[in-house]
Structure 1
Amino acid sequence: MIGKKLLLGGAFAAVLLGGGSVWAQNYGMFMNPLEERAYGVRAHPAALAEAGGAYPDAKLTAYVVAVSKRIAQGAAKHPDQFVFNVTNDPDVNAFTNPGGFVYINIGMIAWVNDEAELAALIGHEVGHAINRHAAKKIARRNVSKAGYKLGMISRRFREQAPEIKEALMLKNIAYSQDAELEADQVGFAADGKLGLDTLGAARMLYQLQKQRDWYASFVKQTGDETPPYLQSHPQPLDRVKRAVELAQQQGGTNLPRNRDRFLDTINGLRLPYKSDKGTVYRYVRVVTVKPGETAQTLAKRVSMASPLAHLLAINGLDSPDQVKPGMRIKLVTAS
């Protein structure tokens, strides 16, 4: 019996590594929808606090929440259960907790350029919620932990424990990438349902690539590490291609983008960055390029690392020559 128990511990861990936790992740082994909601309610205060609290601008928040509710109405069976939050976090990210709690960082909003892009972003997070990705991730993590602890009764397992633990972690990351792609399906469809340009998802994902490229150049200068949430996401350019193909299939690529309404709403948006001297604020200023102004002259007003590169990236531009008189663009300034 002792020998069988030892073998069982190692075998169970092997099953987990071979995909035995798929049942748990797909069917919510540890959480039903009511439990998910209770979890989300309990976690909400801490999640919101960790993201810097609610963004202190009622007009912008109302605008984002209104777009979010329209997306939920078109995608979810129980749209009224969603709780949408605009957070005071400058990181370029958004996330979803169990029970329909969606958090959109102000830093992410600063990096999209029109309402169609914003809707695709929010639709992606709604996709995470309706597919119960957060609850499934918790279930998978719990199964992995249980298998690891059970396996520790085996001497052979203990000898291989570091490698097995790393393998379990890598499988969880791979699942996260699968979840991102699954959520994309909802995000890709969001614009068409709202009567917005269906290429919004492709542009939004392209913005993520632009932000990654700018951040990579910044990392080289500072030695900072890439944030974990970027490490676990699929490569944006692969997703851009899929988004373009779907938009072309479903049509609607000539629908409105509502760019001016979006830019008017985010004009003055405040980004709080942490520094050794405390919180440093940067502001999104929407300007109309005047005759004689160039990307280079406008970049002098930008208070971010690699100012010219930042100006181009945050506006979805590839070269300074694309900045023309009459254009409305975003500058991130110190005041």
Structure 2
Amino acid sequence: MKAIAQDSYGIADGLEVRDIARPVPRDDEVLVQVRAAGVDPSILHLMTGKPYIARLALGLRKPRNPVRGWDLAGVVESVGAKVTRFEPGQEIFGVGDGSLAQYACAKADKLAPKPANFTFEQAAVLPVSGVTAYQALSGKARPKPGQKVLVIGASGGVGTYAMQIAVSCEADVTAVCGPGKADFVRALGASDVIDYASGEITDAKQLFDIILDAAGNRPLSLLRRVLAPKGVLVMAGGEGGGDWIGGMGRQLGGYALSPFLGQTLHSLVARVRHKDLMTLRNLAEAGTIAPVIDRTYPLVEAAAAIKHLQAGHPRGKIVVAV
């Protein structure tokens, strides 16, 4: 089968199209014939091995699995001995290590039936970003009608889903995005827009009940200035902060401060689970959420798709059609 692989951590130019053996599923896994794969910031961490702390899971000196990719949608080819939830021929979506390939293995508890009204390309860009947005706006941060919600990184993958979820809860949403994207986020339901190139979140001159930071580069002190006294901050993105721990330093700072404040400062490392994928499936089939696809690339151009992501701030999601 053809796959996008790398033998050592590095840049997108190090990715190669290779012919490799088809993987064999373990007892709790499903072999998926991949029809489409999503490209999101998590793939950059897989590729670069940064922050270095991530290598504890990915492989210390080189990737344990040389094939890149995470999000996927496709058709069940075969199932492991202990898998009862799926059967060959079933259309599914979820995550599997090495999705930028014609076939990939995925744990059964990280898959769900594909939304009936979604194409494979649409379903492939839903798992990681969709689950992140949903988990961020659940629990203490669940929007209520009329609440003020600030979404930072509103035009990105997580942001576009979060906008739709917050609007469906009848919240009043302010979007933070880059130049030229105001109309785009307004179409998703934003009542107000802040262009980060010409303004700052303090320009809104209001306090927010919920802040979802999916961009990860503002200091806690600035975020707290616009957070209501009993408000909830969810940090779902963590860029910067150095090569060793990345944005985790800011998130750890939030955990340390939160017990002493009326505000809740929460960090999110999303976990893709079957039950949350089923929730997304239901939201998708009800028309509550839908992906915004910026560009589609063929498998052999996966490196170009990743470079487009690195170039900065696509509108919505990037997908690779296999």
TM-score, scaled relative to structure 1: 0.23
Q: Whose helix fraction is larger, Structure 1's or Structure 2's?
A: 1
More strand by share: 2
With the length of structure 2 as denominator, give the TM-score of the two structures. 0.24
Bigger CA radius of gyration: 1
